[in-house]
Amino acid sequence: MRKGICQLCDKEKDLAESHIIPKFVYRWMKQTGGKYFRTALNPNQRLQDGIKNYLLCFDCEQKFSKYEKWFADNIFFPHLKNSSKFLEYDENLGNFIISVLWRRLLLNKINGQEYFEKVFNDWKSYLNNEDVLQNDKIHLFFLGDIWGENTQPNEFVHRYFTRATDTNIAEIDNDIIVFAKFSRFLVFAELNINKQNFRGTNVYFGKSKFPFAQYIDNGKISLYFLDRAEKIYRLALSRISEEEQVKILTEINKNPENFWDSDAGKSVSSDINSEIRPYKVDERIKYVCDICLDSMREPEGHLLRTYEIVISEKYWKYIFSNNNFGIDKEGLKKRLDYFIEVSSSPTPWIICDKCISMFDIKDIEKNKAYMNKWFSTKGKFRPNKCGDFRNYLDNDEIKKIPEMIAGIN
Ligand SMILES: [Zn+2]
Ligand SMILES: [Zn+2]
């Protein structure tokens, strides 16, 4: 403990040591094989985790610990246990992410680097419970074994994406993010974004759930992290002495089976056994079918309007049987709720080639052409007759809908 001005609450107090990445992450690394690496190659080493200074007071650290504990219990360990993506969360998740990323900006500030003062101050007053959050575009990307088993662009990909800790402010393709990567998680915030890069990764400040599909729709961002993996481990390798390398091997050889069975061992083994093939940025837009959630790449798909969706009996049949919405009171209520949600969709629907047969479309080439226009405008195009179906169906057609919804068995 030492006295000083706390960077968060600005009060003069006893200051505690602070890190960007929470302690439980390092504990997890150690327990899952990190003990075999004790040197520069050490995944336990706090790569880029430079705030070891006395910058925050005990009370502010305690506040952050609460968010960290919530994250450990509700997201970190559940996801590592079964790769679950449907995790539910509340505002604690956003608070945790902001507290981590704010400390990364703080590190830049004390190092005299660009620290995005406006965002920094906004987050600071939010964390002090003073102000409404302005810069709330934050994301969580769940990392799994995202590369195929057989090929990868460099020999460090698995190690980086499954285990490394890394934080930075990155400028990629004219967009800027601040990120923290640890274990199988990537959290980040948009500091200056011009493109639609991310889908299904947004974190909201309230009760919510992650969607089924998540992806980063900008190959240059993937490329940045792949390069980063290589740079970080190459740097570590260049620093390690022969003597230290021998030490690591000796440690592993004491009980090789234990090592190769550990999470660290498995990720190294995936790296070793993969063929190295360069990563090509695929510029085509990637997206999912709004009905079956299968992913597609340009130019597959059709763009439909909400009124074309709601009048399809086959569609409702598919939804009701998939969700087990029966015709008892409860089932009917669920049908109605679902209908209200679907029928109020103001944006067009993307339907894959398999699902299109559910719809009775008069001129399918037109819907295909809409899709192409949607690509060329990067998702901004809206065909006419989008939005509320009541405006585009005649009275007779509208009258038939409730009967259809309740009648499907
Ligand atoms: Zn404080
Ligand atoms: Zn589909």
pLDDT at 370 over 60: yes
pLDDT band of 43, cuts 50, 70, 90: very low
Rounded CA Rg of the chain: 25
Which pLDDT belongs to residue 49?
A: 52
Q: How many domains does the chain have?
A: 2
Taking residues 358-364, what's their average pLDDT?
A: 89
Q: Is the CB of residue 216 less than 8 Å from the CB of residue 141? A: yes
Which pLDDT belongs to residue 46?
A: 44
How many whole angstroms separate alpha carbon 321 and alpha carbon 92? 35
Classify residue 158 by burial, with Cβ atoms within 10 Å: 0-12, 13-18, 19+: buried
* Ligand with the closest atom to the CA of 13: 1
pLDDT at 369 over 90: yes
CA 92–ligand 1 middle distance (angstroms): 19
Taking residues 72-92, what's their average pLDDT?
A: 86
Domain boundary among 213, 232, 251: 232
Count of CB atoms within 10 A of residue 295's CB?
Answer: 12
Say yes or no: 58 and 183 in one domain: yes
Residue 295 structural domain? 286-407
Say yes or no: 15 and 155 in one domain: yes
pLDDT band of 149, cuts 50, 70, 90: low
Least confidently predicted of 9-13, 278-282, 375-379: 278-282
Say yes or no: 206 and 294 in one domain: no
Domain assignment of residue 279, yes or no:
no
Q: Is the CB of residue 6 less than 8 Å from the CB of residue 57? A: yes
CA 288–ligand 1 middle distance (angstroms): 45
Say yes or no: 223 and 294 in one domain: no
Domain boundary among 232, 267, 296: 232
How many whole angstroms separate alpha carbon 288 and alpha carbon 290? 6
Say yes or no: 223 and 367 in one domain: no
Taking residues 178-202, what's their average pLDDT?
A: 90
CA 312–ligand 2 middle distance (angstroms): 15
Say yes or no: 215 and 300 in one domain: no
Say yes or no: 223 and 299 in one domain: no
Mean pLDDT of the chain, nearest integer: 87
pLDDT band of 85, cuts 50, 70, 90: low
Domain assignment of residue 225, yes or no:
yes
How many whole angstroms separate alpha carbon 59 and alpha carbon 191? 28
Say yes or no: 403 and 319 in one domain: yes
How many whole angstroms separate alpha carbon 325 and alpha carbon 322? 8
Taking residues 267-277, what's their average pLDDT?
A: 89
Least confidently predicted of 244-258, 294-308, 316-330, 384-398: 244-258
Tokens of 143: 């990392």
* Ligand with the closest atom to the CA of 300: 2
* Ligand with the closest atom to the CA of 358: 2
* Ligand with the closest atom to the CA of 60: 1
Which pLDDT belongs to residue 371?
A: 94
How many whole angstroms separate alpha carbon 284 and alpha carbon 305? 23
pLDDT at 40 over 50: no
Domain assignment of residue 274, yes or no:
no
Domain assignment of residue 331, yes or no:
yes
Say yes or no: 343 and 209 in one domain: no
Say yes or no: 190 and 303 in one domain: no
Say yes or no: 220 and 290 in one domain: no
Tokens of 351: 């339907």
Say yes or no: 213 and 117 in one domain: yes
The model's pLDDT over 307-327, given as tens digits with 9 standing for 90+, comes to 999 999 999 999 998 888 999
7, 65, 117 from 337: Cα distances, Å:
48, 39, 44
* Ligand with the closest atom to the CA of 351: 2
